[in-house]
Amino acid sequence: MHLTLTGGSGPVNILRGVNLEVRAGETLAVVGPSGSGKTTLLMVLAGLERPSSGSVNVSGRNLALMGEDALARFRRSGVGIVFQAFHLVPTMTAQENVALPLEFAGRPRAFETAGRWLAAVGLDSRLDHYPAQLSGGEQQRVALARAFAPEPFLLLADEPTGNLDADTGRIIMDLLFSLSADRGTTLVLVTHDQGLAARAGRTVRMCDGRLDGEAG
């Protein structure tokens, strides 16, 4: 799969012939230097970027053939994303943030489910707090609950501990791995942290838009 984006200074080949297969339930870490295309790969897996050539099949669906709204429906039904900068909606409480994908998907009892997920990440006393009233670690836990609430088959995490201190980061990663394992969720994790990568079942290294091969 190739991805070329055109910027102000002309076309740039971001992904140059990536061939990757991730099995259901697998945990995969993607490592590599800055600018190697890790995050772009994650975006392609989430259906947020279309490959310039090649195809992306997730759970039997070719993302390259789906429209914008179909991709949104695909994400809310089966893909959870965790960002480095959390990206909670600042005007909504923790519970509302977690309920959001369930509401978009029209699932019944969205708030009840959100409450259960917040309890699962240890935030049952923070349901009505706004993101600004939560610490960084707590915000990322809300983001985890939001990502897992629709019970996705695929979870994509982009440097989920990048904005957190080491101790908090460890707690978050414990949570991420245990939740994925409990639910059999496929986890693709982009990280700089070799220690974190080592906790994944498999690690691949990216360099200059290509997969260098299995690492670790």
Partner 1 sequence: MNAAGILLAIRLARRELRGGLRGFGVFLACLALGVGAVSCVGTLNASLEAGLRRDARTLLGGDLEVRQSHLPPRAEALELLADLGRVSLQARIRGMAHAGDGHSAVVEIKAVDAAYPLYGRVILEPDLPPAEALAERDGLFGAVAEPRLLERLGLRPGQELRLGHGRFRVTAMLRTEPDRGATLFNLGPRLLLSQAGLESTGLLQPGSVVSYSALVRLHPGVASEQARAALTREFPDETGWRVLDHGQAAGGIRRSLDNISLYLTLVGLASLLLGGIGAAGAVRGFLASRADALAAMKAVGAERGQILAAYLTQILVLAAVGSALGLLAGVLGANAAAALLSQVLGVPSAPGLYPGPLLSGLAYGLLTALAFSVWPLSAVAAVSPVRLFRGYADPGTPRPSACALAVSGLCALALLTLTLVNAPAPGVVLGFAAGVVLSSLALFLLARGAKALAKSLPSPRDPRLRLALGNIHRPGSGLTAVVFSLGLGLAVLCTVVLADLNLRDTLDRRMPASAPAYFFLDIPKNALKLFQDTVLTVPGVTREEHAPTIRGRVVRVNGVLSEKVRPDPDAAWILRGDRGLTMADRPPEGTSLAAGEWWPEHYQGPPLVSFGEQEAKGLGLQIGGTITVNVLGREITARVASLRRIEWTSLALNHAMVFSPGVLDAAPYSYLATVYSTPGAEEEVFRAVSTAMPDVTAVYVRDVLDDVRRTAGRIALAARAATAVALLAGLLVLSQALRANLQARRREAVVFKVLGATRGDVLLSLAAEFCLLGLSTALAASLIGALASRAFTTRLLLGGWSLHPWALAACALAGTAATLALGLLGVRRALGQKAWPVLRNE
- Closest alpha carbon to 208 in 7, 32, 27, 24: 32
Q: What DSSP character marks residue 53?
A: B
CA distance 150 to 79: 8
Instruction: For residue 213, state whether it binds partner 1 (rule: CB under 8 A).
Output: no
> Which of 15-23, 24-32, 39-47, 166-174 is the region at the interface with partner 1 (rule: CB under 8 A)?
39-47
CA nearest to 144, candidates 131, 155, 128: 155
Q: In whole angstroms, give the CA distance from residue 154 to residue 56.
A: 14
Choose one: 50-58, 81-89, 112-120, 175-183; the region binding partner 1 (CB under 8 A). 81-89
Q: Is 92 in the site for partner 1 (CB under 8 A)?
A: yes
Instruction: With CB under 8 A as the rule, give the number of residues binding partner 1.
Output: 41
Which of 103, 128, 182, 208 binds partner 1 (CB under 8 A)? It is: 103
Residue numbers 150-209 binding partner 1 by CB under 8 A: 150, 158-159, 162
Of 58-66, 71-79, 170-178, 204-212, the segment contacting partner 1 by CB under 8 A is 71-79
Task: Check residue 129 for interaction with partner 1 (CB under 8 A).
Answer: no
> Under a CB-based contact definition with an 8 Å cutoff, are residues 86 and 143 in contact?
yes
Q: Are 192 and 160 in contact (CB under 8 A)?
A: no
Q: Which DSSP helix (H) or strand (E) runs through 47?
A: none
Q: What is the CA 39 to chain-centroid distance, rounded? A: 10
Nearer to partner 1, 77 or 168 (CB): 77
Interacting residue ranges for partner 1, rule: CB under 8 A: 5, 7, 34-35, 39-40, 42-43, 46, 48-49, 68-69, 72-73, 75-77, 81, 83-85, 87-92, 96, 100-101, 103-106, 146-147, 150, 158-159, 162
